[in-house]
A and B are shown apart, each in its own frame.
Chain A
Amino acid sequence: DTGVSQDPRHKITKRGQNVTFRCDPISEHNRLYWYRQTLGQGPEFLTYFQNEAQLEKSRLLSDRFSAERPKGSFSTLEIQRTEQGDSAMYLCASSLFPSDRSSYEQYFGPGTRLTVT
């Protein structure tokens, strides 16, 4: 399978603990995006990378959230001191930029569902 993969698929943690999620993009894609989706809402954009450079991080929800993509391949999203309000689905997507097509469609992974108890 050459699609976007995310690990773990489910994570249950206690309030105050740190969690880290991993995303492996489609291999030739240089852009990688993180989104959060709460129940009944559409995905909410958090941050994105082009290769190893983080081009947008002002949308990260608080300073407890951070993301890395050290070698321009896989990425990690870390949440420190988790709160119950962090319970959500965390989605990763990748794309190729610039594209030789007229579209910049993003390819999404299956997501990591976080439950904070």
Chain B
Amino acid sequence: DAKTTQPTSMDCAEGRAANLPCNHSTISGNEYVYWYRQIHSQGPQYIIHGLKNNETNEMASLIITEDRKSSTLILPHATLRDTAVYYCIVRPNSGGGADGLTFGKGTHLIIQP
């Protein structure tokens, strides 16, 4: 799986949009970008994934640059419950795509009241 780089921590004011960046400059053509988050003392939770088009679901939006070397996860109206560690993971959706996930250290997002 391609390596990802994320900031160690970020702050965001409650009610504002939280924008979490991820660099994945070595991503290959068949690799998707996945985002998970882990709230303190819980297991990781799937958020969203995408290949090259922007994606949106009920939790977040994912913006992938045209060259696919970076992406941004957007939480449109952050709440205190969004305080968590956010992990960006790059992996194929075929073959080994359903094997074990490779987590980095992620970004610790702190939502400030």
Contact = CB atoms under 8 A, between A and B. Distances in A.
A44 B103 contact: yes
Interface residues of A, number: 32
Given A105-B46, A105-B49, A45 B105 contact: no
A97 B93 CA distance: 11
Contacts of A106: 44, 46, 101
B98 A97 contact: yes
Given A40-B105, A42-B105, A42-B106, A104 B100 contact: no
B53 to A, nearest CB: 11
B100 A45 contact: yes
A91 interface: yes
Contacts, number: 65
B99 A48 contact: yes
Interface string B62-101: 0000000000000000000000010100000100011111
Interface of B: 32, 34, 41-46, 49, 85, 87, 93, 97-106
Given A35-B101, A42-B105, A102-B49, 5 more contacts: A35-B100, A45-B99, A47-B100, A103-B46, A109-B43
Interface of A: 4, 31, 33, 35, 40-48, 55-56, 59, 91, 93, 95, 97-99, 102-111
